[in-house]
Structure 1
Amino acid sequence: MVYQYPKGEFRFPLIPDGQKQAETKPALHKTPIPRQKPRAHSKNAEAPKFEKKRPFRPTDVPSPVFAFQKRPSRFEFNVTKEPESSDVIEELVAVVEPMQEEVESEFVAALEVESEPVVLEEIEEISPVVEEEEIMQQEEIPATPQRIELIHEAPKPEKIEQPEPSTPPKTRIPFNVMMVNQDKQHVEQKRAIVEEPIIATGEEPEIAPVFPTEQHLREDASGYYFPSLNLLKPPVFENEDAEWLAFQEELLNETLENFNVSAKVVNVTQGPAVTRFEVQPEKGVKVSKITNLTDDIKLSLAAKDIRIEAPIPGKSTIGIEIPNETSRPVMLSEIMNSQAFQTSKSPLTAALGLDISGMPIVTDLQTMPHGLIAGATGSGKSVCINSLLISLLYKATPDELKLLLIDPKMVELAPYNRIPHLVSPVITDAKAATAALKWAVEEMERRYQLFSHAGVRNMEKFNEYSSHPEHSGEKLPYILIIIDELADLMMVAPNDVEEAISRIAQKARACGIHMIVATQRPSVDVITGLIKANIPTRVSFSVSSQIDSRTIIDTGGAEKLLGKGDMLFLPSGSSKPVRLQGTYVGDQEIDAVIAHVRNQAEPNYLFKQEELLEREIAKEAEDDLFDEACDFVLAQNGASTSLLQRHFRIGYNRAARLMEALEKHSIVSETNGSKPRDVIITREQLEKVRDN
């Protein structure tokens, strides 16, 4: 086999190194295609020209039956009308003439008068008819007022015909001057004003007051006028936001469904500041399953804070309280104008606020009988105290109630100075406050001694006993002690203050002495167990922690309050607190009421703050062993500091102070070196000194 190999003559094709010429492609020439714009957007389209300042003219549309001829008039009901007398027409002309200027301004175009007179269906609604003139004549109208004539013709009596289905008759009155029902009402109102006889007496009409003036006219037997409710600001009312309530209810139901809780909202109650949704769980659902969803419900509803009351006392539902979008203030006048406050006969009735359902809540200090108010700074304690005081001034006379006000802050209760209800001026010194509490304890003991001699049990019976002609005695008033800041007093003299408050709270109710204590530091060292045990009624405003809430009302919940008067009220004998929106009273209202009360009588103080301070200093300077030391040195016929130390078993400092007091009262002589001091007074002289 022979193989033939290539001889190597094959040459690969070589590409020449010449310049490359770009291939020319035919250019795409776009020919403009004219587009036709719609006539509505065409610039050359002729816009309709509207005539300005021309009255409207109804155009005649040719009828397919009557063409441009006059159509026969048809009426739904042809009612016979009796012709009226000329007196009615004269009255109508007299009524329309004062309204000429208003008619000219309201009706620009005149009505065209046809050959037949225009008679309206109702006689009282006769409108002026004016002939229609040309446009050029209207522009040349002189400035003199025109007289509007009434054209009235009584129609001939016709028989009542059955209604025929027909189209409404064509009217010749343009639509822009037709009198609709609303215009007729305005004309009737103006006509009624014109027809009413006005008697020029020169006196302005009396404006009805916001509140009834019966309260201002109420007078006590002693000539004391109670303040008027008009001195207070009127209440503020707002409508319920139904859309927001429905939206929140839907969100709450959806949240419970998402967490597999078989419960639904059955009732919604909107209060002044919060709204309560009553959730009813199905059978077999634990209450804790809903209460554990507090944070989840707050997240779903995007609420500031919520409070769950499980269950609501007296109901088989769980209350979920959510803040409103906008809260309304509860004015003091709203509570004082309520039936609950007006019908109360007790002179110690005080206003508190509104509950969630909108019911006014008042309290009687006789059944209270002592109260504790606590809360953080700015939560509404001082406003609550002012509301209590103002409401008491509307109920009690100076002969029925005396006030002992203790204000270590010096500014909150200062406006109440110089009112006739005060026992003393407002006490601002801590030492004087301690002495005032001791005075209250002494007054309590004195009253019980009077009750014992009279053989009565309480103050009401004693006043009845004293008012009897056979028994001449004093009529005892109620005494209310208000302490605005207890923490300040507890820092100065904790033992004395706690002892005095405890004694008053334990046994002062029957003798007509009541006490309200307020503090912004609800700690255990301020509100001790002894004070809490003797003060059953408590009011808690917003606090910072659950521990403070338990200190005040023995349960949690006050840490979730909103502030600004939102409170939990725990009445005496109740185990669960009630949520209230406290009343608000402004400085102007307080000043107005106090100014009225000051004008009624002058204050009759039993003591003053300076006298209490002097008495307290004198008690501190005088030792309890002074009388015994006097008898001892007279018996020994000599005195020395070491002798007093050994006999009375006291320290050197106290014995030295006793020796200085004996020397000051001229009982012993001055120092005689190391020898004992001489006694320079006899027994008879000592008795005279004690009597003085």
Structure 2
Amino acid sequence: MRHAWGAHAVHVRPTKPGWLELRLVGWDVLADVRPARRQAVAEPLRLPLALREDGDWHVRDFRTVPHELILGAMQSGKSVYLRNLLCGLARQRVVLVGIDCKWGVELAPFAPRLSALADDPDRANDLLDALLEEMEDRFRLIGLSGADPDAVLTSDVWGLPDAVRPVPVVLVVDEVAELFLAANRDDEKRRDAMVTKLIRLAQLGRAAGIYLEVCGQRFGSELGKGATMLRAQLTGRVCHRVNDEASANMALADISPEAALAATSIPADRPGVAVVGDSSGGWSRVRSPLLSLEDAAAVCRDTSALVPELPRLDRFRPAVAVASAGPSSSTGATPTARPVTE
């Protein structure tokens, strides 16, 4: 059919018993990807992030796939995928939390919209403690709802009434390998504690409305104790071009060997191309629309008023640089910093 119709590709998928959908694509849709048109009514925690090779959109649905692993080497387009994700969430009523142990260079531009940011391992350890406390409080709230005989029984926050339902929390961990590195015995104790806390959040966070996006250039069992267990809890997988076959296998081999093979064949001259899969075994090539760092930072500045109140995270709220007012601000004056809570 591809030859007879002169098509670029033909995709076949079952829609219901006895029915197949044939989709003929006339050109390489991943060659030039434009942002998806905004829906009239945005669905909470559901974002179109990348165009699939069959012409449909890969939609990141946190309530269906609560946690995700994003891998990619330098200049692979991983950061662009993350920018699209953060900008989509910034427009919604969501608590955004960041851990970036590269001194915050990757997530600092989004500080106006972040409720918390940890830029070193010690601060990340304290932030994870605060998130665990928040999760425990939410489970107590869910348990109390069952004491009311007139209430609808629920085992997660989405079954609670709108008036008492906590705001969803999305934790973004950039360069997860930095959390695993240890130079001495004290670092090893802190590393083991942080990894254990991340695993607890991944195992229990979905019911409490806490979701994880774990990013890295390299992810393998040699990172240390707990790496494989953490990966097993991250249902969604996004693998951009990586520097070694082991990383592609760590991300996708348990989903499909063909998916891991496809990830190792991504060319270096096509940044943004990735292989997306989940635990159902389905996978597809996708490409994120280009979004510059300046545009992404502007979206976070414009949506800073949407930062939800979560007092437990106030001490981790990042400071935001604000240009000095008056004529001197146009002459290259040094910006001043203020907490975004002011």
Is the TM value for this pair above 0.5? yes
1:335-350 aligned within 5 A: 335-337=36-38, 341-342=39-40, 344-345=42-43, 347-350=44-47
1:506 pairs with 2:212: no
Matched-pair identity in %: 24
CA–CA separation in structure 2 for the residues paired with 1:359 and 1:509: 27
Unmatched 5+ residue regions in structure 2? 147-153, 183-189, 319-342
Q: Which amino acid aligns with 1:487?
A: A
CA deviations over 1:623-669 (Å, ceiling 9, x no partner): xxxxxxxxxxxxxxxxxxxxxxxxxxxxxxxxxxxxxxxxxxxxxxx
CA–CA separation in structure 1 for the residues paired with 2:298 and 2:82: 17
CA–CA separation in structure 2 for the residues paired with 1:502 and 1:475: 24
> Which residue of structure 1 aligns with residue 281 of structure 2?
575
Structure 1 residues 494 and 513, CA, compared in 2 at 3 Å: closer, same or farther?
A: same
CA deviations over 1:475-497 (Å, ceiling 9, x no partner): 41001100011000111443122
Q: Which amino acid aligns with 1:540?
A: C
1:100-179 aligned within 5 A: none
Structure 1 residues 423 and 587, CA, compared in 2 at 3 Å: closer, same or farther?
A: closer
Structure 1 residues 603 and 463, CA, compared in 2 at 3 Å: closer, same or farther?
A: closer
Match of 1:356 among 25, 39, 53: 53
1:589 pairs with 2:295: yes
Structure 1 residues 437 and 589, CA, compared in 2 at 3 Å: closer, same or farther?
A: same
Q: Which amino acid aligns with 1:592?
A: A
Structure 1 residues 344 and 431, CA, compared in 2 at 3 Å: closer, same or farther?
A: same
Query: Is the 8 Å Cα contact of residues 352 and 363 (structure 1) preserved in structure 2?
Result: yes
> Which residue of structure 1 aligns with residue 158 of structure 2?
460
1:408 pairs with 2:101: yes
Following superposition, the deviation at residue 594 of structure 1 comes to: 2.3
> Which residue of structure 1 aligns with residue 177 of structure 2?
487
CA–CA separation in structure 2 for the residues paired with 1:360 and 1:313: 15
Following superposition, the deviation at residue 575 of structure 1 comes to: 0.8
Structure 1 residues 267 and 591, CA, compared in 2 at 3 Å: closer, same or farther?
A: same
> Which residue of structure 2 aligns with residue 149 of structure 1?
none
* TM-score normalised according to structure 1 size: 0.38
CA deviations over 1:164-196 (Å, ceiling 9, x no partner): xxxxxxxxxxxxxxxxxxxxxxxxxxxxxxxxx
SS in 2 for 1:358: coil
> Which residue of structure 2 aligns with residue 390 of structure 1?
87
Following superposition, the deviation at residue 265 of structure 1 comes to: 3.4
Q: Which amino acid aligns with 1:405?
A: G
> Which residue of structure 1 aligns with residue 123 of structure 2?
432
CA–CA separation in structure 2 for the residues paired with 1:546 and 1:591: 33
Q: Which amino acid aligns with 1:590?
A: A
* TM-score normalised according to structure 2 size: 0.73
Following superposition, the deviation at residue 452 of structure 1 comes to: 0.9
Following superposition, the deviation at residue 438 of structure 1 comes to: 2.2
Following superposition, the deviation at residue 358 of structure 1 comes to: 2.0
Number of equivalent positions: 283
1:531-680 aligned within 5 A: 531-554=230-253, 555=257, 556-557=260-261, 558-562=263-267, 563-571=270-278, 573-598=279-304, 606-609=313-316
CA–CA separation in structure 1 for the residues paired with 2:243 and 2:13: 26
1:212-231 aligned within 5 A: none
Query: Is the 8 Å Cα contact of residues 95 and 307 (structure 2) preserved in structure 1?
Result: no
Following superposition, the deviation at residue 515 of structure 1 comes to: 0.6
Structure 1 residues 553 and 312, CA, compared in 2 at 3 Å: closer, same or farther?
A: farther
CA–CA separation in structure 2 for the residues paired with 1:459 and 1:594: 26
> Which residue of structure 2 aligns with residue 477 of structure 1?
167
CA–CA separation in structure 1 for the residues paired with 2:132 and 2:310: 20
Unmatched 5+ residue regions in structure 1? 1-262, 271-275, 279-310, 468-473, 612-692
> Which residue of structure 2 aligns with residue 417 of structure 1?
111
Q: Which amino acid aligns with 1:458?
A: D
CA–CA separation in structure 2 for the residues paired with 1:607 and 1:532: 29
Q: Which amino acid aligns with 1:559?
A: T
CA–CA separation in structure 2 for the residues paired with 1:343 and 1:490: 41
Query: Is the 8 Å Cα contact of residues 382 and 484 (structure 1) preserved in structure 2?
Result: no
CA–CA separation in structure 2 for the residues paired with 1:378 and 1:433: 26
SS in 2 for 1:608: helix
Structure 1 residues 432 and 559, CA, compared in 2 at 3 Å: closer, same or farther?
A: same
Structure 1 residues 495 and 356, CA, compared in 2 at 3 Å: closer, same or farther?
A: same
Query: Is the 8 Å Cα contact of residues 481 and 516 (structure 1) preserved in structure 2?
Result: yes
> Which residue of structure 1 aligns with residue 151 of structure 2?
none
Following superposition, the deviation at residue 603 of structure 1 comes to: 7.4
Q: Which amino acid aligns with 1:529?
A: T
Query: Is the 8 Å Cα contact of residues 463 and 476 (structure 1) preserved in structure 2?
Result: no
CA deviations over 1:574-620 (Å, ceiling 9, x no partner): 21311111222112322332232236679776332499xxxxxxxxx
Following superposition, the deviation at residue 548 of structure 1 comes to: 2.1
SS in 1 for 2:221: coil
Q: Which amino acid aligns with 2:176?
A: L
Larger Rg: 1
SS in 2 for 1:436: helix
Structure 1 residues 458 and 411, CA, compared in 2 at 3 Å: closer, same or farther?
A: same
SS in 2 for 1:591: helix
Which has the bigger relative contact order, CA under 8 A and spacing at least 6?
2
CA deviations over 1:262-320 (Å, ceiling 9, x no partner): x98356554xxxxx4x5xxxxxxxxxxxxxxxxxxxxxxxxxxxxxxxx966599xxxx
Query: Is the 8 Å Cα contact of residues 486 and 518 (structure 1) preserved in structure 2?
Result: yes
Q: Which amino acid aligns with 2:3?
A: V
Query: Is the 8 Å Cα contact of residues 336 and 391 (structure 1) preserved in structure 2?
Result: no
Match of 2:3 among 265, 281, 303: 265
Q: Over aligned residue pairs, what C-alpha RMSD do you find?
A: 3.1
CA–CA separation in structure 1 for the residues paired with 2:138 and 2:316: 23
Structure 1 residues 441 and 266, CA, compared in 2 at 3 Å: closer, same or farther?
A: farther
Q: Identify, as 1 or 2, the structure richer in strand.
A: 2
CA–CA separation in structure 2 for the residues paired with 1:313 and 1:545: 31
SS in 2 for 1:330: coil
CA–CA separation in structure 2 for the residues paired with 1:452 and 1:579: 42
CA–CA separation in structure 1 for the residues paired with 2:309 and 2:285: 38
CA–CA separation in structure 1 for the residues paired with 2:30 and 2:59: 21
